[in-house]
Structure 1
Amino acid sequence: MPAAKSRATLNADDIVEAALTLIRERGVDGFSMRQLSERLGASLGATYRHLPTKDALLQQCGKAVFDRSWRPLQDGEEPLEWLQAQVMSLYHVLGEHPGLASYVIRRPQASARDIVDPVHDVLISSGFTEDEAITTGLVLTLYLAGALLSDFEHSVAVETADAGALVAAGVRFILGRR
């Protein structure tokens, strides 16, 4: 067991990092706040003082994972390739954290500035009409949410295929359709 952290040294960022490690190892359903506190070398009460519920912690974990997977479009970068890379980055990062997808998808911190506006702007700059951009953005969002929330990796239909490759093919298909 690690050395006990004092109240002054324990912080929300450390708690989120330790939780993400446990989620990678055990999945969202396989870890508890008690295990997290033990991993941190802190009392359960100290952990709850920083993040009052497991749901609040998972919301912060979802935000941290999203923030790690999303990056701004760079000057000179091909917009649709950037968008495909963003979607696949999020898919792979969430695949490493079983059960966390629902906390990224429904996180209240997600604002139009985070996701919707950049995706819409990329689609418009790539020649999509306003209606096509709205429809394509919605379809892409629903497709990714479905892939993340389903047990896609273990589906009999894709048993011999790479689920990530199938998701990437679906994203290419969606972005190529108008």
Structure 2
Amino acid sequence: MKAQGTGRGRRLGLTRDKVIAAAVTMIDRDGPDSFSLRKLATELGVEAMSLYNHVPNKEALLDGVAEALLAEVDFSASDTGPWQDRVRAHATAFRATALRHPKAFPLVLTRPTKSPAALETIRSALAGFTDLGLPPEEAVHALRSYAAYIVGTIMRELGHAISLGTWDPGHAQERIEEITATGDPLLTAVAPYLAVGDHDAEFDYGIELLVAGLAARVEVPGDGGPRQA
């Protein structure tokens, strides 16, 4: 039985790439929670069944959106220069794309993908560690620690992870008072700093901490002897 609307979809030149691009636009605008194939079909001016010529279901379409966003990240700057600069450039490029797509990018961070774009993300991250001379197993440990930081901090910045303070200076004093009201001396001492945050400063601090940790790991490995980078 012929699916209703498929002829119109073909007449309009509908393709998988166009369907995914339209989905990215919609999710960027409205967020993923309100997204549906029916709404996407309306946006494209076709019957919902037309979409099934290009994606088997909503989950596959969301995977496609994640892959498209990941493919948008420009990692070219992370392939040259000292390893520290390559790590910084990789992280900066990833975050920059996330901030261009604050509503859609969480799909990249929460949906496992085996796409070529995902493999390129991994390859370019590993390229930042090559000069360290890490054995393959340890390079993967470093990669996963790096990924955990990147994913966690971006999810927090986009409002999808725990935040101990406020990012709105207008509410800083209220948050300071809430923290100091606990009476805990450790919390009270850090309250003015814990109550507010700066996404740029926090992101840069974490990357520099990771870079410094990797450098120290290479210079002074666990057995106390030097490791050649």
Normalised to the residue count of structure 2, the TM-score between the two structures is 0.63
The two structures, once aligned, show a CA RMSD in angstroms of 3.0
Does 2:203 correspond to 1:167?
A: yes
In structure 2, the residue corresponding to 1:153 is in which secondary structure? Answer: coil
Contact kept? 1:69, 1:90, Cα under 8 Å: yes
* Cα drift, residue 164 of structure 1: 4.3
Query: Within 1, Cα distance between the matches of 2:28 and 2:43?
Result: 14
**Greater Cα shift, 140-149 or 109-118:** 109-118
2:115 alignment partner in structure 1: 109
Change beyond 3 A, Cα 1:151–1:169: closer
111, 120, 129: which one pairs with 1:123?
A: 129
Aligned-partner Cα distance in 1 for 2:29–2:84: 33
The 8 Å contact of residues 23 and 98 in structure 1, kept in 2 or not, is answered as: yes
Taking the aligned partners of 1:166 and 1:99, their CA distance within structure 2 comes to 22
Amino acid corresponding to residue 7 of structure 1 in structure 2: R
Over 3 Å counting, the alpha-carbon distance change for 1:103 and 1:6 in structure 2 is same
Corresponding residue number in structure 2 for 1:138: 144
Provide the aligned length of Structure 1 versus Structure 2: 174
Identity %: 20
Task: Point out which structure has higher relative CO (alpha carbons under 8 A, 6+ apart).
Answer: 1
Alpha carbons of structure 1 residues 102 and 39: separation in structure 2 relative to 1, 3 Å: closer
Q: Do structure 1's residue 50 and structure 2's residue 54 form an aligned pair? A: yes
Matches within 5 A, 1:60-75: 60-73=64-77
- 1:26 & 1:142 partners in 2: Cα distance? 27
Provide the TM-score with structure 1 as the length reference.
0.79
| Equivalent in 19, 24, 32 of residue 23 of structure 2 | 19
Contact conserved, 1:63 with 1:104, CA < 8 A, in 2? no
The superposition leaves residues 24-44 of structure 1 with CA deviations (integer Å, 9 ceiling, x where unpaired) of 111111211111111111110
**Is the aligned partner of 1:83 residue 2:90?**
no
Q: Which amino acid aligns with 1:129?
A: L
Larger radius of gyration: 2
Alpha-carbon distance in 2 for matches of 1:42, 1:156:
45
Q: C-alpha distance in 2, partners of 1:112/1:31?
A: 24
